[in-house]
Chains A and B, each alone.
Chain A
Amino acid sequence: MEKQVCVCGHENPVGTKICANCGRPLTEEAKSQKILDMKYDGSAIRSKTYNKSVIDKIWNFFSSVKVGVSLIIITLVVSSLGTILKQEAFVDAGNEAGRALYYEENFGTFGKIYYALGFSDLYNQLWYLILVAMLGISIIIASIDRGFPLHKSLKNQRVRRHESFMKRQRIFAEGSVTAEDASNTLDAVEEKMKKLNYKVRREGAALLAEKGRFARYGPYINHVGLIIFLIGVLLHKFPGVYVDDSMWIREGEIRAIPGMEGYFLENKEFIFETHDNDPTTAQIQQGVNAVAKNYQTNVVLYKQEEGSLPGQTDNLEEVKEYSIRVNHPLEHNGYSLYQMDFRLNELKQMSFDLTNKETGDILGKVSVDLRNPKKEYVIDDNTKVELMEFYPDFSGFNKAGEPQTLSPNPNNPAFIFNMITPEHPDGEISFVAIQQTVEPAGNNTYKMAFSGIDTVNMSGLTIRMDKTIPILGIGGIIFLLGVAIGSYWNHRRVWIEQLADGKIRLAAHTNKNWFSIKKDLDAVTEHAKLPQYIDQLDDEKESESDQNKEEK
C-alpha cells in the first residue's frame, strides 16, 4: 500500500486529505480550500484509495453516495408508477385471465399496456426486488467503506493540530487573551468546557474539548437497522416463515383453517351493527349507506387430537372462544386470524307453500335447507314433495335443456320438485328458480309458491403467521435510534492552543447546528477571556447573496 509522508513525519494512506497526526492538508485540493472539508479528517475513505481491480470497481460503484441517492430516487419514482392504476392485489377478478381483462376493460389501451409491462403487479416484479436489493447493497457497502475509517479517525485523533488545520476551520480565533494573566487560560477553558459537558483532553499547550462523538455513529446505526429490516423482509420468501391464507366461513359452519394444520374454526355468529345516525353529507357524497359500528365473528377454535388425520372431525378439542374484530385478531400459537370481510344475508333456507293454483289452498309448507336438502318432504299420508334435483347457483339451461349450476354457493337456488298430491298421486314436476317457474309437463294443478327465506352471514377471515416480525421490529427500533442519534445530537470539537507569547489560537467544528456550538463558544470565550472568534463561512454566504443583489 502506497503511503504519503506528511511534513510532521506521519505516514498516511494515499488519498488522505488531512494528516491523521497533525491535521495539515495533504492534497492540493485540501490545501486550496479556504475551509477544510472535515468529513474524513484523518482517513481516506477506502474506495477513494483503491481503484484497481474489478472487485474494487464494483465496490466503489456501490460505495458511492451519488449511486446511492440515484437508487433512492429511482426507487421512489418507480414506486409511484404502481399507484396510477389499482394493483392486482386489490382487483377481485378471479384468475389471471380475468385480471388481464379487468385492466383492458376499465382502462383501455393504457390499461392493457400497464398490465403487459407488469406495472399492475409492480412491487412483486423481479426487477423491483432487484432495485431494492441494490439499494440494500449500497447501504451495506457505503457504510462499511466509511464507517471503519471514521471510527479509526475518531478514536485516534490527536489533541494538537497544526496551524494550517486550525486556520482552515469554519470557526477560528487568534489573538491575545483579554484577561490580565494569561497563564490560567487553559485551566479556565477546561473548567468551563467540563461544565458544558465536554470531554477535555490536554497535551502540553494544546487542548481538545469534545462532545457528542457518538452522534457521528447515528447514520451507521440507522443503516444497520435498515439492513436488519430488509433481511426480515427477504426472509418472507423462505417457506415456513410466512403463512398468508384466507377463508370464508358461514355462521354455523365448521371449517378447517387453511395454512394452520390440525385446527378447525366454528363460526358461531356474525354480528354486524351500524351506528344509527342519519347519513351524513360525507356518506351521501361517497354513496355509503350507513356507518358500520362494529362487526365481529364469534368463533370457537378447535384442535384435532394428536395423531389425527386430515378430515377427521370426531374428537375435536375446543381450544378457545373468541370474538374476532378488526384490530382484534384471534391469536394462537404464532398464528393470527383477522376479520377482513363479510357478506350479509346469504340464503340458507328457502320455504315454499304447496299451493293449488286455482283455489289458492295451501296443503303444506316445505322448507329446504340449502346446505343439506332432503330427498323428500312429507306433509301427510297423501301429500309429499320430492326434491328431484337441486342447483345452488343456477345459471341457465344448457343446449340439452339441462339446468346448470355455476358454483356450490347458494346464490341463485333452483329446484326440481315432484309434487305428490291427492289429485296427482304420481306427482307433478315443477322447476322452480327465483322468479322463474317452468312446468315441463304443461299445466300443473299445484305449484310451489315462494313463502320465505332464512339467511345467514358469512365471514371473511385472513390467516397469518409471520416469524419475521421480531426481526422487523428490531430493525425498526435500531433504525429509529440511529436516526434520532444522528439528528438530535451533534458532534462538537474545540481545539485550543496557547502559543509561546500567551496568544490563543482557537478552532471549532461541529457536524451540524452551528448556532448551538456558537453559544458554547460565547460562554467559554467570556469565561476564559478568549479572543473573539469569527465564522469564516458567514462572510462567504453573505457575499454570495450580496452578489445576487448586485446582479439586479
Chain B
Amino acid sequence: MDKKRKRSITRGVILAVLVLAIGFTVYSSLTKDKVELLTVGDTAPDFELVGLDGNKHRLSDYRGEGVMLNFWGTWCEPCKREMPAMDRQYEVFKDQGVNLLTINIAQSEFEVQNFLNSLGVDFPTVIDKTRDVRDAYNIIDLPASIFIDPNGKVVKIKTGEMSEADIIKNMEMIKPE
C-alpha cells in the first residue's frame, strides 16, 4: 500500500507541477501587455524635453504639484476638440497647484505653434522630437492624458477625447492636499 500511495503522490505532484506551469504561462501571456504598459500606481517616468519657449522642461520640475500630461498631434481631431476645455480648466487649476504640460509627437515647431495659435490656447507645450518619451509612456493612441499626483505617481490614464467635466474631475484628483 505504501508504494502505491507513494506512486500516486509522485504522479500527482508531477501533474500538479505541469498544470501550474501551463496555467501560469497562460495567465502570464494574457496579462503580459498590462505588465509592460504604464499603469495607475506606477511612478511616472521622468523626462526632459525642449518646449516651444526654448526652455528645457522636466517632469520632476513639477514635483510637489499635480501634473496633467497630454500627448497630441495636429492631425488628431479629438485632440483639437478637447484643447479649449483643457486650456480653460488649466487657467482655473493652475493657481490650485495643478499644472498642464502638453507633449506633441515629433512635429515641426511651425505646425505646433500654428495649431495652438489657431485654437487660441496658451499652455506649456514641448515637442518629443525623437519619440523617446512617447515610448517611455507606451503611448499608442492619441489623445492620451496622464494625470500625475504631487508625489509623482500616476493616478489616471485616459485615452481618447475628454469632456470638460472629465478634465475637471481628474484635475481635482491630483490637487495637492
Q: Are A and B close enough to touch in the complex, i.e. CB under 8 Å?
A: yes
Q: Are B106 and A408 in contact (CB under 8 A)?
A: yes
Q: Are B131 and A255 in contact (CB under 8 A)?
A: yes
A302-319 interface mask toward B, CB cutoff 8 Å, 1 = contact, 0 = none? 000000011111000000
Q: Are B110 and A375 in contact (CB under 8 A)?
A: yes
Is A373 positioned at the interface, with any CB of B under 8 Å from its CB?
Answer: yes
Given A137-B18, A234-B25, A406-B75, do A46 and B136 touch, yes or no (CB 8 Å)? no
Q: Are A264 and B132 in contact (CB under 8 A)?
A: yes
In the assembly, what is the distance between CA of A509 and CA of B18, in Å? 37
Output the least CB separation between A99 and chain B (Å).
16
Query: A-B pairs with CB below 8 Å: how many?
Result: 119
Is A258 positioned at the interface, with any CB of B under 8 Å from its CB?
Answer: yes
Given A312-B48, A390-B114, A393-B75, do A55 and B132 touch, yes or no (CB 8 Å)? no
In the assembly, what is the distance between CA of A545 and CA of B105, in Å? 78
Which A residues between 364 and 384 are near B, CB-CB below 8 angstroms? 371-375
Q: Are B32 and A309 in contact (CB under 8 A)?
A: no
Q: Are B46 and A1 in contact (CB under 8 A)?
A: no
Is A397 positioned at the interface, with any CB of B under 8 Å from its CB?
Answer: no
The interface centre, meaning the residue of A255, A312, A313, A375 with most chain B CB atoms within 10 A of its CB, is A312
Query: Please, which residues of chain B bring their CB within 8 A of the CB of A408?
Result: 73-75, 105-107, 111
Given A313-B130, A387-B110, A393-B75, do A144 and B25 touch, yes or no (CB 8 Å)? no
Picked from B7, B12, B108, B131, the residue with its CB within 8 Å of the CB of A50 is B7
Given A255-B131, A372-B110, do A55 and B35 touch, yes or no (CB 8 Å)? no
B156-172 interface mask toward A, CB cutoff 8 Å, 1 = contact, 0 = none? 00000000000000000
Query: Please, which residues of chain A bring their CB within 8 A of the CB of B109?
Result: 372
Q: Are A46 and B14 in contact (CB under 8 A)?
A: no
Picked from B36, B46, B130, the residue with its CB within 8 Å of the CB of A309 is B46
Chain A's closest residue to B136 (CB) is A310
In the assembly, what is the distance between CA of A126 and CA of B25, in Å? 11
Query: Please, which residues of chain B bring their CB within 8 A of the CB of A126?
Result: 26
Is B129 positioned at the interface, with any CB of A under 8 Å from its CB?
Answer: yes
- Interface residue SS majority, chain B: helix
Is A466 positioned at the interface, with any CB of B under 8 Å from its CB?
Answer: no
Picked from A129, A372, A375, A405, the residue with its CB within 8 Å of the CB of B74 is A405
Size range of the chain A interface in the assembly: 35 or more
In the assembly, what is the distance between CA of A421 and CA of B135, in Å? 46
B119-143 interface mask toward A, CB cutoff 8 Å, 1 = contact, 0 = none? 0000000101111110110000000
Picked from B28, B29, B114, B129, the residue with its CB within 8 Å of the CB of A313 is B129
Output the least CB separation between A510 and chain B (Å).
32
Picked from B11, B47, B111, B129, the residue with its CB within 8 Å of the CB of A55 is B11
Given A311-B49, A408-B74, do A129 and B58 touch, yes or no (CB 8 Å)? no
Q: Are A264 and B11 in contact (CB under 8 A)?
A: no
Is B92 positioned at the interface, with any CB of A under 8 Å from its CB?
Answer: no
Chain A's closest residue to B108 (CB) is A372
Query: Please, which residues of chain A bring their CB within 8 A of the CB of B132?
Result: 256, 264, 310-311, 313
Output the least CB separation between B17 and chain A (Å).
10
Chain B's closest residue to A134 (CB) is B22
In the assembly, what is the distance between CA of A258 and CA of B128, in Å? 14
Is B43 positioned at the interface, with any CB of A under 8 Å from its CB?
Answer: no
Q: Are A46 and B131 in contact (CB under 8 A)?
A: no
Across the A-B interface, give the 6 residue pairs with the lowest CB-CB distance, nearest first: A256-B132, A237-B29, A310-B136, A311-B47, A311-B49, A310-B47
Given contacts A126-B26, A256-B130, 7 further A-B contacts (CB under 8 A): A130-B26, A141-B14, A141-B15, A144-B14, A237-B25, A310-B47, A372-B109
A sample of 16 cross-chain residue pairs with beta-carbon separation below 8 angstroms, ordered by A number, consists of A1-B4, A55-B8, A56-B11, A59-B15, A140-B18, A141-B14, A255-B131, A261-B136, A310-B45, A311-B47, A312-B48, A372-B108, A373-B110, A390-B110, A405-B75, A408-B74
Interface of A toward B, CB cutoff 8 Å: 1, 46, 50, 52-53, 55-56, 58-59, 126, 129-130, 133, 137, 140-141, 144, 234, 237-239, 254-256, 258-259, 261, 264, 309-313, 371-375, 387-390, 392-393, 404-408
